[in-house]
Structure 1
């Protein structure tokens, strides 16, 4: 079946000397993997390897056989060009971190247009803003809404966050309960916009604590989730 859809590049992997295998989150068909034969050696082909940088927004025409095998892309072009996402050092480091997160969290072929719209909107926001120190924290928290484990905020006045159950409570009940200043700051992110969340003040230590807490939270609620290898680089940059 020939489909035309917008898509977000999640991951690309070199295959052999000249081929690429790319994972795209498509708006109409969910997560799909494609084999791009000879793309790394072709200089005149319609599809260029540079199109498949992480998080690039594309418009593609593809042949979906829906047999669980690698699909084929017939045509691809930039949907909305980024101005700074792949050229600014801080933003490009964020891009690799976010693409690793998405590679570990989006695994189903189910269509999720709300998730697609969230990712498209937030990447364009990141591309056009400079005050982005809290972006990765806000991004991860809001991402949980689309993955089905956003924290229960009905008892947000309580001081302990139970990561295992995703709720707030008044005392610790397991090893995955956290409290203290990092939880107080974490609460400030819940229900805020990206613009508002960038104004939240915190120390380097607290930012790292919240980020590590969120990654544990993802591990608890997503089978097979692993902390991104780019985490150490991200910590160095935002420190």
Structure 2
């Protein structure tokens, strides 16, 4: 079946001498993997490697057989040319980190227009703004709402964050319960959008601790979780 759909690039892997395997999150069909034959040798074709930088937004015309095998792309167009996402050093590090997190978090091969819209809106904001030190924290926190484990904010008055159950409580739970400045800082991200990020004031140390707290939360709720390799680079840039 020939499908035309918007898509966001999650990852690329070289295959053989001149091929690429590209993982994209599509608006029509969820996560899809495509085999691009001889794309590393071709410079004038309708499908070029320059289209497939991480988290690039594309319009794809593809053949989907929907049999769990690698699909094929016929044509590709840039849906939104980024102005800074792949040229700004800090933003590029965030892109690498988020693409790893998205690849391990989203596995479904089915349409989820709300999630796709959230990804588009978030990436467009990141591309267009400069106050981005806390962007990745709010992005990952909000993403949990689409993944099904957003914390229960009705319990936010509690001192301890029970990561296993996803709520706050007045005394520590038996497993994976955290307290302290990082928990209070995390609470500052509830109920805000990206335009409000300037109101969240964190030291470098606290920002790192909040991020590690969220990653632990992901680890407890995602079977496919692996520590992102790009985390070290991200921490070095922000520290």
Question: Normalising by structure 1, what TM-score?
Answer: 0.98
Residue pairs, 1:46-65, within 5 angstroms: 46-65=46-65
Q: Secondary structure at the match of 1:42?
A: coil
Instruction: Map 1:63-78 onto structure 2 (within 5 A).
Output: 63-78=63-78
Contact 1:133-1:198 within 8 A present in 2 as well: no
Q: Per-residue deviation at 1:199?
A: 2.4
Q: Aligned residue for 1:10? A: 10
Work out whether residues 162 and 168 of structure 1, in 8 Å CA contact, stay in contact via their aligned partners in 2: yes
Secondary structure of the residue that 1:154 maps to in structure 2? Answer: helix
**CA–CA distance in structure 2, aligned partners of residues 227 and 195 of structure 1:** 29
- Alpha-carbon distance in 1 for matches of 2:230, 2:80: 26
Q: Residues 110-137 of structure 1: CA distance to partner in whole angstroms, max 9, x if unpaired?
A: 2111110000100000000000010011
What whole-Å deviation, never above 9, does each CA across 1:6-60 have from its counterpart, x for those lacking one? 0000111000110000001000111000000000001221111010000000001
**Residue 228 of structure 2: aligned partner:** 228
**Aligned counterpart, 2:199:** 199
Map Cα deviations across residues 58-113 of structure 1 (whole Å, 9 max, x no partner): 00100001111000000001001100000011101110000000111111102111
Root mean square deviation, CA, Å? 0.8
Equivalent-residue separation in structure 1 for 2:57 and 2:104 (angstroms): 19
Partners in 1 of 2:54 and 2:62 — Cα distance? 19
Aligned to 1:188: 188
The separation in 2 between residues aligned to 1:147 and 1:68, in whole angstroms, is: 22
Contact 2:28 2:110 in 1 (8 A): no
1:122 aligns with 2:103: no
Q: Which digits, 9 at most, give the CA deviation of each residue in 1:126-182, with x for residues without a partner?
A: 000000010011111000011000000111111110000000000111241111111
- 1:106 maps to 106
Number of paired residues? 239
Alpha-carbon separation, structure 2, partners of 1:73 and 1:198 = 41
- Distance in 1 between residues matched to 2:125 and 2:133, nearest whole Å: 13
Deviation at 1:198, TM superposition (A): 3.3
Deviation at 1:5, TM superposition (A): 0.5
Q: 1:19, 1:36 within 8 Å by CA — same for their partners in 2? A: yes
Runs of 4+ in 1 over 6 A off after TM superposition: none
TM-score by length of 2: 0.98
Which sections of structure 2, spanning at least 5 residues, go unmatched?
A: none
What is residue 20 of structure 2 aligned with on the other side? 20
* 1:83 paired residue number: 83
